[in-house]
Structure 1
Amino acid sequence: MYVVYILKSEQDGSYYVGHTSDLEKRLWHHNSKLNRGWTKKKQPWRVVYTERYPSRGEAIKREQEIKSWGINYRKKLVGDVV
């Protein structure tokens, strides 16, 4: 099972969209001091939205779809006021 997730930065309110097979471990990594990626600068993160998919391919397709629709769609999806 794969999860498409949206994280929200508690620091500045920005969003991050990704997919994983282990959401708990992935969230830990996003918030870890070991993280060297873009999300390190905006820690801490919290999960604000998830969708589950049976295959990695379906999860990647949905992740790309969510990213392509822009920030206003993401805000609607997670229930933030646009």
Structure 2
Amino acid sequence: MANVFKALGDPTRREILKLLNERDMNAGEIAERFDMSKPAITKHLDILREAELISSEKKGLFVIYSINVTVLQEALSNFISIFDKK
């Protein structure tokens, strides 16, 4: 769960999740939305993937990224349960 909160701690990664919540996208489409290098976007995508907040699938020449809402819901549920115990 620490990886999830680390990933969510960055505003760029939160914005990427918002974009992927609208539709699946490839790295180029995501990079077009930001004023930073493609390698920087790739690093953000790697962190999100390591936290299992997104998944990727090779389709032809492109890697398509999708949001994994289940992991996000689990992290939020676990976070909220901390306060329920008090």
> Could you tell me the TM-score, scaled by structure 2's length?
0.30
Instruction: Pick the structure with more strand per residue.
Output: 1
If asked which structure has higher relative contact order (CA below 8 Å, sep 6+), I would say 1
Instruction: Pick the structure with more helix per residue.
Output: 2
Greater Rg, structure 1 or structure 2? Answer: 2
> Could you tell me the TM-score, scaled by structure 1's length?
0.31
